[in-house]
Each structure stands twice: as C-alpha cells, then as structure tokens.
Amino acid sequence: MDEKLFQIGAVAERVDLSLRTIRFYDEAGIVVPSARSAGGFRLYTESDIDRLIQVKAMRPLGFTLDETRELMELRDRFNTGEALSQLERAVLADYSERADAKFRKRQRQLADAQHLTDALRREATAVNHEPDPD
C-alpha cells in the first residue's frame, strides 16, 4: 500500500472526534481502518478520513447507527458505479429528503439561538455602559 497512513490520534485531531468515537465506528463497521500496524494499531487512509468526516456530518441530523451504516453502504455502492435496485434508489432518495428536512430544522434552531445570542450581547453591552449603582 503506497497511500499515506495516519494513526488514530492524528485522525482524531484532524476530524475533531474522540478516539473512543473513532474506535466505536470501527467496531460498528461504519468506518473500518484500511490497515493495521505490526502492533495492531489502527491506520487510516485519506479515504477513511473522508468517510469519518461524512459520518460526523450525519450526527447532527439525528440518524441512528443502523441508518448511518445503511446510508454509507448505499453511498459506497453508488459512488463505485454499482447499479442500485429500484428499492435502493428509493431508500437513498428517502434519506436525502429526511436529511434535508432535518437540516432545515437545525437551521431554524440555529437562527433562534442566534437571535437569543444577539439579544444577550445587546443587553450585556447596555449593562456595561450604565453608571455604577454605588
């Protein structure tokens, strides 16, 4: 294998996931490292790292572990040019619609949080400019 390999610590730092989470994804069969060192340490390729980033992006959308695994398997097959059955295409389309709906919900939640943050900032600025009550 000529591809550069990365140890789990470097991968964790790069993708901002804990070692425990990365190990969990390996044990769950969602992101299995491409290699192991002579000592048995997990070694990840750029492709493995990209996969971790994709899985991480799914987390805020609330997909279950089984859904994450299924979606990643479908995407893998699609991206390698393998033909998907009509049912698999429908499942992929359903994931797309659900991800979009969950994303829109998160956007609304973030907009609400931004409004609150802005209000708090204005109030804190106003309080800091009031004369001391002493």
Question: Is residue 83 classed as helix, strand or coil in its secondary structure?
Answer: coil
Residue identified by tokens 């390698």 is 80
The confidence score (pLDDT) of residue 131 equals: 76
pTM of the complete model: 0.79
Q: Does residue 48 contact residue 15 with C-beta atoms inside 8 Å?
A: no
The CATH code that applies to domain 6-128 is 1.10.1660.10
Task: DSSP letter for 32, please.
Answer: -
Closest CA to 44 of 73, 76, 17: 17
pLDDT beyond 80 at 133: no
Q: What is the pLDDT of residues 37-73, one digit of tens each?
A: 999 999 999 999 999 999 999 999 999 999 999 999 9
